[in-house]
Amino acid sequence: MDIFQKAWDFTEARSARTSGYYPYFQVIESESDATVSIDGRELIMLGSNNYLGLTTHPHVRERARQALEKYGTSCTGSRLLNGNLDIHVELEERLARFVGKESALVFSTGFGTNLGTISAIVGRHDSVVIDKDDHASIYDGCKLSWGKTIRYEHNDVASLREALGKANLGDGGALVVVDGIFSMEGDIAPLPDMLPVLREFGARLMVDDAHASGVLGPHGEGTAAHFGVTDEVDLIMGTFSKSFASLGGFIAGDELVIDYIRHASRPFIFSAAMAPPSVGACIGALDVMESEPQHRERLWEIVRKMQTGYRELGFDTGTSETPVIPIILGDEMLVFGFWRRLLEEGVFVNPVRPPAVPAGRALLRTSYMATHTDEQLDRVLETFAKIGREFGVLEA
């Protein structure tokens, strides 16, 4: 059989485009903020991970501009060889202090951070234990490693204990990897309940704070700081494409562990270094996080308003506690129909279907940023109420 046969047989996307229910690769013609322009229309953006709204912050833009002017557009090589800039080192030192760890290492993408960290740490005789709802990059990091992968039921500590019981603890070690904030349903990993189980089995813990950096914790340090367990979390991972308003990722932990990853991670060693303007933007975002807490405070005002608003209308928002608020509808075609009507009414959301969520749990993923206005949010709730009644999700 021709290896391309699978591509010729793939008709799902073409059928969705023909029917008008294809929601992906929407072309945005403006900067990423509380509103965006699509086909010349202004829409309220509820599909972004720009939680603190820093993509348009003057200081973030200025630090990116300064880095561009001093270092150019690219490092043209890996950190190992010719691409190791002083601003990479500066960012790593500041990130380590920010999250409360000895050392940090920055990668060119968040996805690559999980690939590079898990595959470097988990060897042939080791086990990696993951939550079933963990991000795809964690799953792929497990595939790239040589270790045994074991999944446990979402946020279920009893299931975690059972999974660790199946780990290769006689021959190797175990690494538990969990999202701090889960990206589809907005709930938080129960770290305080998990830690005694990990200690019981001698397992290490890595927390993916992609959606928690800048959001959770007294100063936005992440999930471990939110629960006051920073010293008990071994590795803290974060991405720059969300609250940091840039592109890339980092892993932070004990100095010797980070130095090992620096020299053993193939996705790190064989990738070009993070581009200077992206590094500059990250440093600028970190400046703002540390000096302007009003952005995070405003974000949480919005979270409380929208969580309350949706629930009072009668929508199912699951167990969300964060700026990621799902509207769980269950039926996939209902989700796509609702998405299309929202787009027509000027509201951009992300429709999510299996395998990104479990079967029967298709949803509209909404997310919020500190730059949303109360007027915009009131309009969103009114629009959801209107369309919810149209589709029979809410009582007329």
Match 């919020």 to its residue by tokens. 368
First to last CA, the chain: 54
Is pLDDT larger for residue 19 or for residue 297?
A: 297
Is pLDDT above 80 for 394? yes
Q: Which residues pair with 107 in a beta bridge?
A: 249
Active site residues: 183, 211, 242
Is pLDDT larger for residue 372 or for residue 168?
A: 372
Is pLDDT above 90 for 378? yes
pLDDT of 20:
86
Q: How does residue 395 score in pLDDT terms, banded at 50, 70 and 90?
A: confident
Is pLDDT above 80 for 389? yes
Is pLDDT above 90 for 237? yes
Domains of the chain: 9-45+293-390 (3.90.1150.10), 57-291 (3.40.640.10)
3-state secondary structure the chain: CCCCHHHHHCCHHHHHHHHCCCCCCCCCCCCCCCEEEECCEEEEECCCCCCCCHHHCHHHHHHHHHHHHHHCCCCCCECCCCCCCHHHHHHHHHHHHHHCCCEEEEECCHHHHHHHHHHHHCCCCCEEEEECCCCHHHHHHHHHCCCEEEEECCCCHHHHHHHHHCCCCCCCCEEEEEECECCCCCCECCHHHHHHHHHHHCCEEEEECCCCCCCCCCCCCCHHHHHCCHHHCCEEEEECCCCCCCCCEEEEECHHHHHHHHHHCHHHHCCECCCHHHHHHHHHHHHHHHHCCHHHHHHHHHHHHHHHHHHHHCCCCCCCCCCEEEEEEECHHHHHHHHHHHHHCCEECEEECCCCCCCCCEEEEEECCCCCCHHHHHHHHHHHHHHHHHCCCCCC
**pTM for this structure?**
0.96
* Total Cβ atoms within 10 A of residue 19: 10
pLDDT of 82:
95
pLDDT of 169:
80
Q: How does residue 356 score in pLDDT terms, banded at 50, 70 and 90?
A: confident
pLDDT of 118:
98
Share of the chain above pLDDT 90, in %: 94
Burial class of residue 333 in the structure, from the number of CB atoms within 10 Å of its CB (0-12 exposed, 13-18 middle, 19+ buried)? exposed
Least confident residue range of 137-141, 169-173, 304-308, 336-340? 169-173
> What's the pLDDT tens digit per position in 110-149?
999 999 999 999 999 999 999 999 999 999 999 999 999 9
Q: How does residue 283 score in pLDDT terms, banded at 50, 70 and 90?
A: very high
Is pLDDT above 80 for 170? no
Is pLDDT above 90 for 358? no
pLDDT of 21:
87
User: Mean of the per-residue pLDDT values for the chain?
Assistant: 96
The mean pLDDT value for 281-290 works out to 98
Is pLDDT above 80 for 396? no
> What's the pLDDT tens digit per position in 51-73?
999 999 999 999 999 999 999 99
pLDDT of 234:
98
